[in-house]
Structure 1
Amino acid sequence: MTWVLLACAILAEVTATISLRLSEGFSKIAPSVVVVVGYLTAFTLLALVLKRGMAIGIAYGIWAAAGVALVALIGAAFLGDSLTPVQYGGLALVAVGVVALEAGGAH
């Protein structure tokens, strides 16, 4: 259940971040509401993950890295952002770093 909560926190954060772009500086009401609700949801779920005992370095590392990667990929796929081969390599390194962080914490 902890991992499901973390995945939902990540999805809420990514939704809020994409909506931040779509809000055009909070000038559009619907995306602006999604930003506020999304970030409140993301942090609430992250707090629940931490309360359930996941180490903060693991939880935040996965949350932040997955969020960065997903936002970059969504931006490239749907919002006209571009990613260079070096940036794709950076995203791969972020994924490897998260796996290393998790593997290093195993008992």
Structure 2
Amino acid sequence: MTTWHPICPWEALAPACGVPALLAAEPVALFRTHDDELYAVGNVDPFCGAGVMSRGIVGDRAGEPTVASPMLKQVFSLRTGECLDDPAARLPTFPVRRHDEMVEIAVP
């Protein structure tokens, strides 16, 4: 059974800006892209161990929505969590949705 956790109102989530959240002891970074797509990935940078991904730079690489780590600048797919600069590294991804004007994340 999936449990959805409200994070913030839709209007409070600015496009191309991240929001950190802590759900069931899991640090999560929530993003809304300029085309209003929602993504949730792990907030811990796998290269340096810092909880900074929510402060990353949102963009795209060849049409793939991405976030670049603010620390060492590796770029990660927001869809899959895969590091596009080093496929051996990955961020966890989480289901995210807009529901009743709230943004919600599911954490197992």
So what's the TM-score if we normalise by structure 1?
Answer: 0.24
Rg: which structure is higher? 1
The structure richer in strand per residue is 2
So what's the TM-score if we normalise by structure 2?
Answer: 0.24
The structure richer in helix per residue is 1
